[in-house]
């Protein structure tokens, strides 16, 4: 705060703090408090709201525990989101390392541009593109059959595999850029010194690169997991009955079942899960909020 005061002065600093506080309170705190209030009240017709039956209760939360189908979908969403995060990291780490430590300064802007250009298109359109690619008679199945890798087309659409592939692609930038920012600050002399001392590439990455990039890994995992767990468009378009996402259940409670109280309870449970994942990642990688903010 002292640095901000010195740079911008007291008046502009006060304006910045006030705008940030307004944004946090109006767009984060108050909506969450309203959602909690909704989740702790029963779903009643308008004529009974405020009456003797309108009391705080945890029944909306108990519903998830009693409903075996919804509980199974919730656990499946957690597992699939973690898998999406792991696969995204596996795909992005080599790319981020190459961009940060190997690519020449003249080619780096072109690589970044090639990564960003596909994301100028709306997420729904990119998801529809994967719908065409993963179709039963789509380009992917035709290529696999043509190469002799499979005897007959595979139904990717409607399966967990199709949803996971689509999510890895949709959220890849949220992993690659935090990794790139973290690895780029690593002094290349450390890598050269390790190679001169006889360390192999696996040991160099395990002992030097990955420990240095822990803040970037934590940020990438947090963002990817939260976006995957809260995604609706990708599982709705690429998924099916066997790959339903918890957000689809929340959507059904709000807009099809008309039970906003139950939907708010499910949404708050998902929020608690994401907050717990953030704290777990910070503890696992031994980073604090200051490291994550960088």
Give the model confidence (pLDDT) of 15-48 as tens digits.
888 998 999 899 888 988 999 998 998 887 777 7
Min mean pLDDT across 90-99, 192-201, 228-237 is at 192-201
Find the mean pLDDT for residues 111-132: 87
pLDDT digits (tens, 9 = 90+) for 231-287: 988 998 888 888 889 999 999 998 888 888 999 999 999 999 888 888 888 888 777
User: What pLDDT is recorded for position 54?
Assistant: 78
Find the mean pLDDT for residues 88-107: 91
Q: Mention the CATH class of domain 66-293.
A: mainly alpha
Find the mean pLDDT for residues 206-219: 89
CA distance 289 to 282: 8
Report the chain's mean pLDDT, rounded to a whole number. 87
* Residues 233 and 124: beta-carbon distance below 8 Å: yes
DSSP 67: -
Question: Which residues have CB under 8 Å from 1's CB, separation 6+?
Answer: 13
For the chain, the C-alpha Rg in angstroms (whole number) is: 23
Range among 4-18, 143-157, 223-237, 274-288 rated most confident: 223-237
Model confidence band, residue 179 (pLDDT cutoffs 50, 70, 90) = very high
DSSP 241: G
Query: Could you give the percent of the chain with pLDDT greater than 90?
Result: 28
Above 90 in pLDDT, residue 92? yes
Min mean pLDDT across 68-72, 91-95, 190-194 is at 190-194
Model confidence band, residue 187 (pLDDT cutoffs 50, 70, 90) = confident
Query: Could you give the percent of the chain with pLDDT greater than 70?
Result: 96
Q: What is the domain partition of the chain in residue ranges?
A: 66-293
Find the mean pLDDT for residues 204-215: 89
CA distance 30 to 203: 48
Closest CA to 96 of 108, 81, 79, 86: 108
Above 70 in pLDDT, residue 294? no
């Amino acid at each position: 705060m002292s640095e901000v005061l010195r740079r911008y002065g007291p008046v502009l600093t006060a304006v910045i703090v006030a705008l940030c506080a307004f944004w946090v309170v109006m767009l984060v705190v108050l909506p969450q408090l309203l959602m909690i209030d909704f989740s702790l009240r029963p779903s009643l017709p308008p004529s009974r709201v405020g009456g003797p039956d309108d009391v705080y209760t945890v029944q909306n939360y108990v519903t998830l525990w009693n409903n075996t189908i919804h509980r199974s979908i919730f656990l499946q969403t957690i597992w699939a989101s973690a898998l999406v995060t792991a696969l995204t990291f596996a795909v992005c780490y080599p790319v981020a390392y190459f961009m940060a430590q190997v690519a020449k300064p003249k080619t780096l802007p072109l690589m970044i541009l090639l990564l960003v250009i596909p994301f100028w298109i709306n997420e729904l359109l990119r998801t529809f593109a994967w719908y065409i690619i993963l179709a039963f008679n789509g380009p992917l199945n035709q290529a696999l059959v043509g190469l002799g890798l499979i005897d007959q087309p595979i139904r990717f659409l409607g399966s967990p595999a199709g949803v996971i592939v689509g999510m890895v692609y949709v959220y890849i930038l949220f992993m690659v850029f935090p990794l790139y920012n973290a690895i780029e600050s690593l002094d290349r002399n450390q890598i050269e010194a390790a190679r001169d001392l006889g360390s192999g590439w696996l040991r160099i990455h395990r002992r030097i690169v990955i420990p240095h990039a822990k803040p970037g890994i934590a940020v990438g995992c947090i963002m990817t997991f939260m976006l995957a767990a809260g995604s609706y468009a990708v599982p709705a378009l690429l998924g099916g009955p066997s790959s339903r996402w918890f957000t689809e259940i929340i959507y059904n409670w709000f807009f099809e079942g008309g039970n906003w109280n139950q939907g708010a309870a499910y949404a708050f449970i998902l929020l608690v899960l994401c907050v717990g994942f953030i704290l777990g990642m910070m503890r696992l990688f031994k980073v604090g909020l200051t490291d994550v903010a960088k």
